[in-house]
């Protein structure tokens, strides 16, 4: 890639300085240095890593640790390939102990597979600058070294002015896409503590969920509600409704019931002694606003 990406790296490094202070109310996630298929991808790789870390921070549920900036971790990467720092062979020893000392449960790795620049002219002869970037993120469980999951991201952005503008669009989109990635592989799962008030017609109006700001819940977060149900010879978890975070305390959240029929199902199941499980709706994201819910996005 072009040398002009160097200035972008400097700018993002300044942003990452905000991650220096620990927050005990959030889950600690360690982000390792990203690797790349080609050495020429180095500056792009640093920028993508910065965008991903910013995206994690924007979600609001994580304390993001830069493994290269943290003095306790940077020594692990001296004279070693990034991909060799945490492996099936060493996760219990040097690397695993260093990560666990930070009270982190999961770490993030990234691999950049493709960076391509090219130009095209449209039917009117106007020149467009394209930047294609493909990369993969992997989430690992620090406790046992196993991989929680992975996801691939493929971007093809264009600009009428320069490759830089096209690449900046890649950064913006990858940062934004971290919300759904986090909700997919870092699920917020809990359960209903108690039913709340009813309206004048006796319909369930709200309920209390275990967990609040201590796990990154914010007002407007949408939770799906599940209950175990026996279907034939098996017991499976089925969704019976959704609720919206209305009042968030340190360790509890009062959630509003949006549909009376769903409230009736939740009330009946809870009264029968069944556990009502809740999970952050990863399709909607964290803290979605009331206006967005009205229009279904």
For 145, phi and psi rounded to 5 degrees? 80, 0
* Residue 54 and residue 99 in one domain: yes
Q: What is the pLDDT of residue 247?
A: 95
* Residue 223 and residue 163 in one domain: no
* Residue 180 and residue 200 in one domain: no
> Which residues share a beta bridge with 31?
66, 108
* Residue 174 and residue 197 in one domain: no
Output the average pLDDT for the chain: 82
> Which residues share a beta bridge with 174?
none
Q: Is 287 left (phi over 0), alpha (psi -120 to 50) or beta?
A: left
> Which residues share a beta bridge with 241?
225
Q: What is the pLDDT of residue 35?
A: 92
Nearest alpha-carbon partner for 279 in 238, 251, 249, 233:
238
- Residue 66: which residues within 8 A CB-CB, separation 6 or more? 16, 19, 31, 53
User: Which of 167, 185, 203 is where one domain is finished?
Assistant: 185
Q: What is the pLDDT of residue 56?
A: 93
Q: Distance between CA atoms of 221 and 167, rounded to whole angstroms?
A: 31
Q: What is the pLDDT of residue 297?
A: 32
Q: Which residues of 65-85 are buried (b: 16+ CB within 10 A; e: fewer)?
A: bbbbebeebeebeeeeebeeb
Out of 127-131, 218-222, 287-291, least confident range: 287-291
CATH of the domain at 173: 3.40.50.10610
* Residue 247 and residue 176 in one domain: no
* Residue 113 and residue 143 in one domain: yes
Domain count, the chain: 2
* Residue 46 and residue 143 in one domain: yes
User: Which of 185, 220, 244 is where one domain is finished?
Assistant: 185
Q: What is the pLDDT of residue 294?
A: 31
* Residue 155 and residue 195 in one domain: no
Q: Is 165 left (phi over 0), alpha (psi -120 to 50) or beta?
A: alpha
- For 190-231, what is each residue's pLDDT tens digit? 899 999 999 999 999 999 999 887 777 888 989 999 999 988
Residue 255 has pLDDT above 80, yes or no: yes
Which residue would you say has higher pLDDT here, 96 or 183? 183
Q: Give the β-pairing of 234-248 and 222-231.
A: antiparallel
pTM: 0.68
> What angle do helix axes 42-59 and 178-185 make, rounded to 10 degrees?
70
Do residues 174 and 48 make contact, with C-beta atoms less than 8 angstroms apart?
A: yes
Task: Collapse the DSSP code of 216 into the 3-class scheme (helix H, G, I; strand E, B; otherwise coil) and give the result.
Answer: coil
* Residue 174 and residue 231 in one domain: no
User: Which of 163, 185, 207 is where one domain is finished?
Assistant: 185
Domain that holds residue 280: 189-294
How far is Cα of residue 107 from the mean position of the Cα atoms in its chain? 12
167-189: average pLDDT: 90
Do residues 16 and 38 make contact, with C-beta atoms less than 8 angstroms apart?
A: no
CATH of the domain at 269: 2.40.10
* Residue 236 and residue 180 in one domain: no
* Residue 179 and residue 254 in one domain: no
Count Cα neighbours of 206 within 13 Å in the Cβ-side half-sphere.
14
For 159, the token pair is 């600009």
Q: What is the pLDDT of residue 193?
A: 95
Q: What is the pLDDT of residue 67?
A: 87
> What angle do helix axes 163-176 and 5-16 make, rounded to 10 degrees?
30
Model confidence at 61, in pLDDT bands (50, 70, 90)?
confident
- For 94-104, what is each residue's pLDDT tens digit? 666 777 778 88
* Residue 204 and residue 235 in one domain: yes
Out of 14-23, 77-86, 107-116, 236-245, least confident range: 14-23
């Amino acid at each position: 890639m072009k040398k002009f990406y160097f200035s972008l790296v400097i700018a993002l490094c300044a942003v990452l300085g905000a991650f220096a202070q620990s927050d005990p109310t959030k889950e600690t996630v360690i982000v390792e240095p990203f690797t790349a298929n080609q050495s020429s991808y180095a500056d792009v790789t640093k920028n993508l890593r910065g965008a991903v870390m910013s995206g994690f921070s924007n979600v609001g549920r994580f304390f993001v640790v830069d493994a290269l900036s943290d003095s306790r971790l940077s020594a692990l990467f001296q004279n070693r390939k990034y991909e060799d720092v945490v492996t099936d062979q060493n996760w219990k020893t040097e690397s695993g102990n260093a990560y666990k000392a930070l009270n982190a449960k999961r770490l993030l790795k990234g691999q950049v597979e493709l960076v391509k620049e090219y130009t095209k002219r449209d039917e009117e002869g106007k020149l467009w600058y394209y930047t294609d970037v493909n990369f993969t993120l992997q989430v690992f469980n620090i406790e046992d070294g196993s991989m929680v999951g992975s996801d691939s991201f493929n971007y093809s952005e264009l600009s009428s002015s320069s490759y830089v503008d096209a690449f900046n669009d890649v950064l913006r989109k990858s940062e934004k896409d971290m919300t759904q990635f986090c909700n997919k592989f870092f699920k917020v799962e809990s359960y209903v503590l108690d039913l709340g008030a009813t309206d004048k017609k006796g319909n369930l109006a709200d309920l209390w969920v275990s967990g609040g700001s201590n796990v990154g819940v914010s007002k407007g977060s949408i939770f799906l509600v599940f209950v175990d149900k026996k279907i034939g010879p098996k017991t499976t978890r089925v969704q019976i409704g959704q609720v919206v975070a209305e009042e968030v305390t340190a360790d509890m959240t009062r959630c509003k019931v949006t549909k009376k029929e769903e409230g009736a199902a939740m009330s009946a199941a809870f009264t029968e002694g069944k556990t009502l499980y809740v999970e952050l709706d990863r399709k909607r994201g964290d803290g979605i606003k009331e206006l967005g819910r009205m229009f279904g996005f």
